[in-house]
Structures are given as C-alpha cells and as structure tokens.
Chains A and B, each alone.
Chain A
Amino acid sequence: MSKKEPVIFDIGWNACINCGACVAICPKEAGFISAFDTIAVGRPCDIACLLCEDICPVSTITHKAA
C-alpha cells in the first residue's frame, strides 16, 4: 500500500459539540489532541487515515495537504 501524504486538520469550532469521538477513533500516538479535546489542529498527521473525519457526528473536520 502506498504511504499516504501527511495532512493538517481544520476544525469548524462553531459546529464542534466537543464529543471526543475523533480522539477516541484516532490511532496516533498519545497526545495528538488539541486544547479543546479534539484531534490536534495546526500540526501534521502522517497517518492520514481520516477516520476522525468519518466519525465526527457533525462533519466539522476538514483537511488539506501538510
């Protein structure tokens, strides 16, 4: 399988309901968390599985290439 390109996330805070589901599904190492208890924003994720986007009940996570 080809390695995925790293991504960087943006969270629409207006819609985020602080449910923690994105952190629960995330397979990254400990601590890839934002100050608002979501997956980290502003630093790249090299796994780029995008499960965090899939689980978000209000689809408020988007990404761009890091």
Chain B
Amino acid sequence: MSTSQYDLVIIGSGPAGATTARFAAEQGLKVLLVDKRQELGAPIQCSGAVSRHALEEVGVAPEEEFIHEPIYGFGIYNEKGEKKTIDYRQLKAEEYGQEEGKKPLGYVVDRRRFDRYLMTQAERAGVEVWLKTEGLSYQPNNDGSCDVYLRRFNQAITARARVLVGADGLQSQVGKWANLRTHIKITELASCLQFIVDQVETDGLLEIITGHEWAPGGYAWVFPKGHGYAEIGLGVIPTMTDKNAQWHLDQFIKHSFFKERFRNSRILEIQGGGVPLASPLRTQYADNLILVGDAARHVNPITGGGIHTALSGGAIAGNFLADFLNQGRQPTAANLKAYQDGWLEEIGNKMWQLYEVKTDIFRTHDIRQRDALLFQTMSGYFSPHSEYKKI
C-alpha cells in the first residue's frame, strides 16, 4: 500500500502529544497524531490536578467541558494529621476566590474530557488524528526520513515522517524502539491506587498526606472531584513496604486520622497507575526521533505531577520542530539534541534540582526524620514563595 508522508508522526495523544501536534501544525507542519485508545484518557490513570497557569501558558481555556472543580490551594498533613493550610483565598484574597473578578489557582480536570479537548484543539489546528491506531516500530531511511509502522483497526499502515515523536506516556515503547535508556528503577516508581468516592467533604483544596505510616515512599491525597465527589488515593514505593497499594489505601481509609471523615464513603470508580518519582531521561532523542511528556519522564519528581510538564514540554517540542524542519535541517540525533538542550534550559534543569531534593529526602534512613523532611518539603513546595512554583 502507498505510504503517506508527514513532517511529524506523533505516537500518543495525551497532553504531551496533542500539544506538540497543535503547536507544530499552527506553524505549518503536516502532522499525523495517532492513539491506540478508543476513548482518550480512559481508563483514567491520573488524578487530574493542574494549575491554571499551566493551561494559560499553552493557550488552553478552562472550559466547563473538562473541569471537575476549581482549586484554591493546598492542605498538607504530617503523619499525625497536623495540617499546614496554604489557601490562596486567604493568602491573596484580592486575586483568588469564587467571587466575580477573582480566579482559581488551578483545577481538577476529567482526563477523559481533557484529553479529548486537547486532541480536538489539535485537529482544529490542522492535525490529522487517528484513534484505534497503535504505533509498532520505526525505521530511519537513508534519505533522512523514517518509516513508522502502524496498525489501525487491524490494518497495517506505514507512514513516512521527517521526525517521529514518542508521546506514548509512562509505558513508552517508542524510546525502546530507538534503544534509548528508558528503564525506571523500582525505587523510583510509585504504585498508585485511587478511589472516586461519594460522601467525603472537601473544600476547594488539594489535600496531601505525608508520612511513612500511610504511604511509604510516596504520599496519600484527597482531592475534590466536583458534583460533591472526592478522590482518595495514594502511591507507595514497593521496596519500602511488603504490602501493596491496595492494602495501604484500605489502612488509610479505615485507620488514619481521617477515618471518621471517610466513614460513609462509597466507592464510585477505581483507578490506578505508576508515578515516576524519577529524573528526566538523560537522552530524549535519536535519529529522526524525540520523546516528550511521561515518555521522556518529564514528571515532577516531588509531586509526581506530569500534566503541566507534558503541556509545556509539548509546546517546547512543537515550537522546536516547526523551526527546525522549516529551516530544512536534517533530523539526525546530533541535530535533535538541541531539542533536549532547549527543554533543559526552560524547565528540565529545575526538574533535575527537584530530583536532587527528592533523592536527599529518601536517602534519609531514619523514618521520623524522613517524614519531617517530606512534610517540610511539600509545604514549602506549594507555598506562594516556592522557587519551583512554575513546574
């Protein structure tokens, strides 16, 4: 069968892939965006918390279509339940709040609707999108292009591209196709489980519960989910416990200082996933190929948040590739290194610093000392004066 030609073929239409696609297409590139799923974002493997700033930065309007609930700050708890409140409705009352003329700090989004919205924006910018299309492998050609092998509704298709973008998330295979070192250490991947529940009250804050007793190696959380629902979840590092995330979540719900609050909770949905508390990949490019988002481990190593970094990484990748290809440059690994250099300068170097902070915490063997450090770091991280606010 004939081979279609594109400037970019992008594998994966999560926040990273859809944003890369939109920025590239807006600057004239011919882009094919593929995703193997039938419904983007489903099954949900994310809590959906994202700052308003992260959306604004990439020109995404906060549409009702995908917002579960606006957020105004944080409640950080230590292992005993002592709380540090960082409520921007109080800290900066003139700016943040529900009232007319004021705004939220961020949102909890529905990833099914959010990812579909981002894909739609890409499509409207001229991107060709194929769902139910799985990326299988790629092969660089002698003429500077590459062939990308796809399967779409059981049909084998080859698409020719100048650059292949791996935006295929944490389970990324694209990096492996190019023999990049993508392996995550078991000490740096949190095993997460979360329940969407009814009958648990929240107050516009993202609540984060630290402490080895509740979530060894990670933390627990309670997020507002809109419509009066909440999400209770946690992530644990498997080498720091001999129980699984399910056991820890059960303990947290039934035996923590929140047990009264959770007493009448009813489970409406069950979700989970792996969250890397790891460094970015050291090499995020190869001949005809770059990685972006979770696939490149563009994830905040302290919070595990990756939507903001996927969106901003997508914008960086889209802008870079548009400039690069519009100048007629050859997409060799050596030339594509400039993508990673630019990304490091804009956000990556700060992520490396956060990784050092996180590593220092978990290098502390004494549990009480480690708990105290994590609580202190989380509280500082979300404060209005945090130097890392923009990640």
Q: Which residues of A pack against B, CB within 8 Å?
A: 17-21, 23-25, 27, 29-31, 33, 37, 51, 54-59
- The dominant DSSP class at the B interface is mixed
Q: A19-B271, A58-B272 are in contact. List 9 more A-B contacts (CB 8 A).
A: A20-B169, A21-B272, A30-B173, A33-B171, A54-B238, A55-B274, A57-B191, A57-B245, A59-B244
| 3 A-B pairs with least C-beta separation | A21-B274, A19-B272, A57-B245
Contact indicator per residue, chain B 196-212, by CB within 8 Å of chain A (1) or not (0): 00000000000000000
Contact A30 B176 (CB under 8 A): yes
Residues of B with C-beta under 8 A to A27: 183
Residues of B with C-beta under 8 A to A17: 43, 193, 270-272
- The dominant DSSP class at the A interface is loop
Contact A57 B272 (CB under 8 A): yes
Contact indicator per residue, chain B 112-145, by CB within 8 Å of chain A (1) or not (0): 0000000000000000000000001100000000
Which chain B residues in 39-57 approach chain A with CB under 8 Å? Answer: 43, 45
A28 to chain B, nearest CB (A): 9
User: Which of A18, A21, A30, A59 sits near B189, CB closer than 8 Å?
Assistant: A21
Closest to A58 in B: B246
Closest to B269 in A: A17
Contact A55 B45 (CB under 8 A): no
A49 to chain B, nearest CB (A): 9
Closest to A25 in B: B189
Please measure, in the bound complex, the distance between the C-alpha atom of A30 and the C-alpha atom of B104, giving whole angstroms.
42
Residues of B with C-beta under 8 A to A30: 137, 173, 176-177
Residues of B with C-beta under 8 A to A19: 43, 45, 192-193, 271-274
Which chain B residues in 256-294 approach chain A with CB under 8 Å? Answer: 270-274, 276
* Sample (25) of A-B pairs whose CB atoms are under 8 Å apart: A17-B272, A18-B43, A19-B193, A19-B273, A20-B45, A20-B171, A21-B189, A21-B272, A21-B273, A24-B170, A24-B276, A25-B186, A30-B177, A31-B136, A33-B171, A33-B173, A54-B186, A54-B191, A54-B239, A56-B191, A56-B244, A57-B191, A57-B193, A58-B245, A58-B272
Contact B189 A55 (CB under 8 A): yes
Closest to A53 in B: B238
| Interface core residue of A27, A33, A55 (most chain B CB under 10 Å) | A55
Contact B192 A57 (CB under 8 A): yes
Which chain B residues in 155-206 approach chain A with CB under 8 Å? Answer: 169-171, 173, 176-177, 183-184, 186, 189, 191-193
Contact B171 A24 (CB under 8 A): yes
Contact A20 B186 (CB under 8 A): no
Contact A24 B274 (CB under 8 A): yes
Please measure, in the bound complex, the distance between the C-alpha atom of A64 and the C-alpha atom of B54, giving whole angstroms.
46
Contact indicator per residue, chain B 42-86, by CB within 8 Å of chain A (1) or not (0): 010100000000000000000000000000000000000000000
A4 to chain B, nearest CB (A): 16
| Interface core residue of A20, A23, A24, A59 (most chain B CB under 10 Å) | A24
Contact B176 A58 (CB under 8 A): no
Which chain B residues in 230-253 approach chain A with CB under 8 Å? Answer: 238-239, 244-246
Q: A24-B170, A29-B176 are in contact. Are A55 and B186 (CB under 8 A)?
A: yes
Please measure, in the bound complex, the distance between the C-alpha atom of A51 and the C-alpha atom of B237, giving whole angstroms.
12
Residues of B with C-beta under 8 A to A51: 186
| Interface core residue of B171, B186, B238, B276 (most chain A CB under 10 Å) | B171
Contact A24 B272 (CB under 8 A): no
